[in-house]
């Protein structure tokens, strides 16, 4: 009986000791896209009399998730186990585009999708690609940002103007943070390039 009690206490002690030595689970790293916007000199154009509503971005469910996905080689796709978005890319890109359009001051007003006001135009944002890509050996990575902007005439329900923009950049580091920084820069480049196109639309029509 005494031996049984000794064995019992010895087992409990070993289990507790092992539990105390267990390595803690690594903390989840959370990332977000920055608030940086390209510079733009506001000018008055024909769009100044028009009101614009920005619709929620159209995208794959991959970009509506807090998971950070990446591709490896031509076929494999994974998500970072210890990294995630604070705000999913689809939502953040919609907000950032809205802020940039307001900063440009080309339109009489720029409203978000929840607005109940009547508008002349709506903007559809389609996220074609917004991901980090690795080669098969995980030795190199780059990001690809592809976004299509389509202005819709809300009176005729016809496309007013549409164009696709792309920015492909090599990452500085082959990890989640490197991907976030490059995606952020890619989005910045897309907004910068699109601003010239939008200004041209406002002069032409």
Assigned domain for 21 exists: no
Domain that holds residue 190: 41-204
Number of domains in the chain: 1
Assigned domain for 16 exists: no
Tokens of 145: 């940002």
Mean predicted confidence (pLDDT) in 174-201: 96
Distances (CA, A) of 132 to 46, 112, 114, 193: 39, 29, 31, 21
Assigned domain for 83 exists: yes
The answer on pLDDT for 29 being more than 60 is yes
Assigned domain for 18 exists: no
Give me the helix-helix angle, 176-204 and 89-104, nearest 10°: 40
The answer on pLDDT for 5 being more than 80 is no
Considering only 53-62, 107-116, 126-135, 147-156, which range has the smallest mean pLDDT? Answer: 107-116
Assigned domain for 190 exists: yes
The answer on pLDDT for 166 being more than 50 is yes
Of 92 and 46, more confident: 92
Assigned domain for 173 exists: yes
**CB count, 10 Å around CB of 140?**
11
pTM of the predicted protein model: 0.86
Domain harbouring 96, CATH code: 3.40.50.10610
Assigned domain for 168 exists: yes
């Amino acid at each position: 009986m005494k031996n049984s009690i000794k064995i019992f206490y010895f087992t409990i002690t070993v289990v507790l000791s092992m539990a105390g030595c267990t390595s803690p689970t690594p903390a989840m790293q959370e990332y977000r896209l920055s608030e940086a916007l390209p510079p733009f000199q506001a000018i008055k154009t024909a769009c100044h009399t028009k009101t614009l509503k920005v619709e929620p971005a159209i995208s794959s469910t991959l970009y509506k998730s807090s998971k950070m996905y990446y591709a490896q080689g031509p076929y494999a796709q994974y998500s970072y186990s210890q990294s995630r978005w604070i705000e999913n890319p689809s939502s953040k890109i919609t907000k950032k585009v809205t802020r940039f359009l307001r900063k440009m001051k080309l339109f009489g007003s720029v409203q978000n999708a929840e607005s109940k006001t009547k508008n002349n135009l709506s903007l559809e944002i389609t996220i074609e690609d917004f991901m980090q890509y690795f080669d098969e050996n995980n030795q190199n990575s780059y990001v690809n940002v592809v976004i299509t902007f389509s202005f819709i005439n809300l009176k005729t329900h016809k496309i007013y103007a549409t164009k696709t923009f792309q920015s492909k950049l090599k990452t500085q580091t082959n990890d989640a943070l490197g991907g976030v920084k490059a995606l952020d820069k890619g989005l910045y480049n897309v907004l910068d390039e699109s601003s010239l196109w939008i200004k041209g639309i406002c002069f032409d029509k």
